[in-house]
Structure 1
Amino acid sequence: MFMNLAHRGASEYAPENTLASFYKGIEMGANGIETDLKITKDGVIILFHDNELNRTTNGTGLPSDYTWEELQQLDAGGWYSPLYAGERLVSFEQFLHYFGRKSVLFALELKDKFIEEQSLYYIEKYGVREQVTVTSFSYDNLRAVRAKDATIKMGHLIRHIDLSSIEQVKEINCQQICPATEFITAEGVALAKAHGLEVRAWGAFSEALMHKALSCGVDGMTINFPDKLSMALASKENSSISVE
């Protein structure tokens, strides 16, 4: 199954990492959601990408400067459109409460250190282990996850595929390697697959890049516009049927 993962939800159409964006992603044909895990001052894991609050909320400073109760007072949607004014930040547990029973995949990117144990706790609590891939740009974060869980699926976010990056991910038993679409090549994808790895692209910020990733043979990608990827996959499938 090709992984059509709504990047922070359908973030082309709704404010990223909000319930509105996640629901829209599923409505638009995504079979999975990609999101980011950070931690608050009082130890609550929230879904938030940036280092600071100012781009996507009406707050300032670091999320870790505030308690979860304080962060819930922020507007996380008005920056995108008045239609979404009043959207709230979402905790990881809230997210799993609303989406954990759905038949969708979850790519969970660890953005902070020392959150692996709590993240794994909620993954087990909500019974979503088989749907989850834990990812990070930080190799140390992934090593910390593997030290606590020998088998959970993991993916390393990297710039480009080479033998060194493949050896690194295999060393900690990552099942997935995640290159930037900008630097992806069919040869690199084939090399990773020859080593038994899934290849999931990130950074497909345009339709041209989306089609590039598809032509290189990736197993999935994170995408801001899952509807366009769904249409491209359907078109590709129909073309294949017609040829046969």
Structure 2
Amino acid sequence: MLVIAHRGVHTAVPENTLAAFEAAVALGVNGIETDVRISLDGLPVLMHDRVIAGQAVAELTRRDIERVAGHEVPTLDEALEQFSGILWNIEIKTTKALSSVIRVIEKHQAGHRIVVTSFRHDLIAICASSLLVNCGLLVAHRPTTLNYLLADFDCDGNPRVNHIVWDYEVLEESLLKQAANDGFRNFVYGPMTKMEHDYCRELGVDGVITDYPLLAQNA
């Protein structure tokens, strides 16, 4: 089971920063999950929240975002430049981020292991047809069947769409098995206790995206 640090390791430093990513690498995790938004000056910045201190990230320049956040905010390009020897799970937060993310990944895809994910499954279809990396569907609800989940997803059978990233709250063993049988890798985000990390391992999931990587490593 891969251990993927959710927004890096941020117990002592801000999340989604180069320092958080460095801490994750030092801890020996298999991968890092990060979030991409677009700043007012058109940069793919690594920020999870849509609004910080009452101001929309999309309405602020990168420097203004850093001023409001109180710390340096890296771009996707900067993070990939600095950390090439680890799996990157890159979540696209908005449609406006798509073109910038694609340009950056095109630059780095030959030398990195990358999985691009989004709750916007239409964006994943575009990434799968535009890039040479793995792609995945983020899922925060429990579909009746896997076919129901995929019914409205237009990927034309693209083999690059090969991951499903499930919210821990909606884990269902039968769906995990069906997804695995259909060739998908199952990732899970949100486990919090050692018991929950152990449960993910028992279910045979391929990776956990976690704020508590030591609990997964010790599972």
| Aligned 1:33-72 pairs, distance under 5 A | 33-54=32-53, 60-72=54-66
SS for the counterpart of 1:221 is strand
Larger Rg: 1
Match of 2:90 among 108, 111, 124: 108
* Aligned positions, number: 213
1:90 aligns with 2:74: yes
1:73 aligns with 2:67: yes
Match of 1:156 among 116, 137, 158: 137
Q: For 2:65 and 2:105, how far apart are their aligned partners in 1?
A: 23
Residue identity over aligned pairs, in percent, reads 25
> Gapped runs of 5+ residues in structure 2?
none
1:187 aligns with 2:181: no
What code does the residue aligned with 1:228 have? L
Q: What is the TM-score of this pair, normalised by structure 2?
A: 0.87
Cα separation, partners in 2 of 1:210 and 1:94, compared to 1, 3 Å: same
SS for the counterpart of 1:175 is strand
Cα separation, partners in 2 of 1:221 and 1:128, compared to 1, 3 Å: farther
Partner residue of 2:215? 228
Q: For 2:187 and 2:193, how far apart are their aligned partners in 1?
A: 16
Q: Is the contact made by 2:188 and 2:209 (CA closer than 8 Å) also made in structure 1?
A: yes
Q: For 1:170 and 1:218, how far apart are their aligned partners in 2?
A: 25
Q: Judge which range, 192-201 or 66-75, deviates more.
A: 66-75
Partner residue of 1:5? 4
Cα separation, partners in 2 of 1:141 and 1:70, compared to 1, 3 Å: same
Note the C-alpha offset of 1:91: 1.3
Partner residue of 2:105? 123
Cα separation, partners in 2 of 1:212 and 1:145, compared to 1, 3 Å: same
Q: Is the contact made by 2:168 and 2:191 (CA closer than 8 Å) also made in structure 1?
A: yes
Note the C-alpha offset of 1:144: 3.0
Note the C-alpha offset of 1:127: 4.1
| Aligned 1:206-225 pairs, distance under 5 A | 206-225=193-212
Cα separation, partners in 2 of 1:138 and 1:185, compared to 1, 3 Å: same
Partner residue of 1:139? 121
Note the C-alpha offset of 1:154: 0.5
Cα separation, partners in 2 of 1:61 and 1:141, compared to 1, 3 Å: same
1:198 aligns with 2:192: no
Q: Is the contact made by 1:29 and 1:226 (CA closer than 8 Å) also made in structure 2?
A: no
CA RMSD in angstroms, aligned pairs only: 2.1
SS for the counterpart of 1:73 is helix
Once the two structures are superposed, residues 185-236 of structure 1 have per-residue CA deviations (whole angstroms, 9 ceiling, x without a partner) of 322211111101100011113323222211111000101121221122xxxx
Cα separation, partners in 2 of 1:186 and 1:129, compared to 1, 3 Å: farther
Q: Is the contact made by 2:188 and 2:208 (CA closer than 8 Å) also made in structure 1?
A: yes
1:177 aligns with 2:164: yes
Note the C-alpha offset of 1:15: 2.1
Q: For 2:113 and 2:205, how far apart are their aligned partners in 1?
A: 19
